[in-house]
Amino acid sequence: MDISFEWASILTELRKDHHLTQEEVANILHISRQVYGAMEKGRIQPSAIRIAILSDIYNVDLFEYAVSNLPDEYVAEKQVFKSSLTQKRVENVIQKSRRGKRKTHRGRRTSSKRTQDK
């Protein structure tokens, strides 16, 4: 599924609501006014870091806002994907935990003692 989220109208609306110029927002983001203007026109998508900075400036969770505006079928697909990732992480943690127990059980600590005795 190809989903592209347009930040252009959101960025423009938030900037105007906060009575800021493109130049002021660009300075906060450490980019040129032209680059920020391109973001507001939709020619450039903002990076995750810039979205996080703007979330802080505007005191709004732009990530949550973006997710809440995605099509329902994408959100359902995302939940299935996140569930599978969570299950894989749990399985990895269990496997690492089991490996760790075997290492200490086989006397890993005693091997370091042997090198100290030499």
In single-letter form, the type of residue at position 13 comes to: E
User: For the chain, what percent of residues have pLDDT higher than 90?
Assistant: 38
**In the block, which residue shows the tokens 């998508």?**
45
Concatenated DSSP letters for 1-37? -------HHHHHHHHHHTT--HHHHHHHHTS-HHHHH
pTM given for the model: 0.55
Q: Tens digits of per-residue pLDDT, 34-74?
A: 999 999 998 998 998 999 999 999 999 988 877 777 767 76
| 33/111: higher pLDDT | 33
Contacts for 93 with CB less than 8 Å, ≥ 6 apart: none
3-state SS assignment for residue 65: helix
Tokens of 22: 């493109």
3-state SS assignment for residue 110: helix
What is the structure's pLDDT at 102? 53
What is the structure's pLDDT at 105? 52
Q: What is the rounded CA–CA span in Å between residue 87 and residue 77?
A: 16
Summarize the confidence of residues 87-102 as an average pLDDT.
Answer: 71
